[in-house]
Amino acid sequence: MPDTRLRPEHVGEPMVAALLRQIYSKNKLDQLRCGQSGRAQDQTLQGVIDSTCSTNCGAPISFHENAPLCPLEHDGRAYSFDALSQVDCLVVRGSAGLAIEVKLGTSRMASREFRRRFLQPCTFSRHVPPRIRGKMIAVLDGRFREEGFGDAPLCAAPAGRQPVTLARSWVLLIRREVADAWAANPPLFRRDCWILLFEDLVPAAGGQDEFDKIVSSLVGDRFAEPWGLSPEATP
């Protein structure tokens, strides 16, 4: 039996990127429905990508986990982010990017607690020059204490590629249980935040067996040798 202590949130970013690559290879991004918090409209993930990366519609799409943010340019100065400011899953098409923030846990995700944890405005550190400090969700939603920073374009640099400019719209991937709990009192976002459900990714990727293969490819089933614990590795 697999170790049930391993939870989706433990391997969230590379798992989501791998799932989306699989779905894209099957031409099924249009099967993923995205809704907007507190609004009666929805769209497919393919539609969101098409509308946010509209100048690059002929370019192929790629998915990259843990893409660091580039320094934010504002009023002639560059402000770095702290080391944890990474796009969980970055959708790249040409020179444009769409950020997907991955939150697969279910505890402390009630609407009020979510706002308290993730939607507080970003602040600045005491470094010289100062660095931007704040939750990634607040960054993507343009929440800054200082005026004007929320309007500055964000860029991210996936590994081995040139930086891309992020769309103002972004995607939040959560569990269905969390979305259902938000139905009566959802958190409200400043920018267009599209809600995507983790449970919808599995059937679009090919079902349970394909999902299990993807997770196994990430976590594996043999740890002693790569960790230097096999008999051959013992002096």
In a domain? residue 45: yes
In a domain? residue 1: no
Beta bridge partners of 165: 96, 155
Tally of domains in the chain: 1
Question: For the segment 103-121, what is each residue's pLDDT rounded down to a tens digit?
Answer: 999 999 999 999 999 999 9
Buried b or exposed e, range 27-64, using 16+ CB within 10 angstroms: ebbeebebbbbeeeeebbbbbbbbebbeebeeeebbbb
In a domain? residue 84: yes
Alpha-carbon distances of 157 from 24, 46, 62, 170, 175, rounded to whole Å = 21, 22, 13, 16, 27
In a domain? residue 176: yes
In a domain? residue 235: no
Question: For the segment 6-28, what is each residue's pLDDT rounded down to a tens digit?
Answer: 566 666 799 999 999 999 999 99
In a domain? residue 85: yes
In a domain? residue 2: no
Domain with 207, as residue range(s), is: 8-230
In a domain? residue 143: yes
Q: Which residue type does 106 have?
A: T
| Three-class DSSP category at 234 | coil
> pTM for the complete prediction?
0.88
Question: What radius of gyration do the chain's Cα atoms show?
Answer: 19
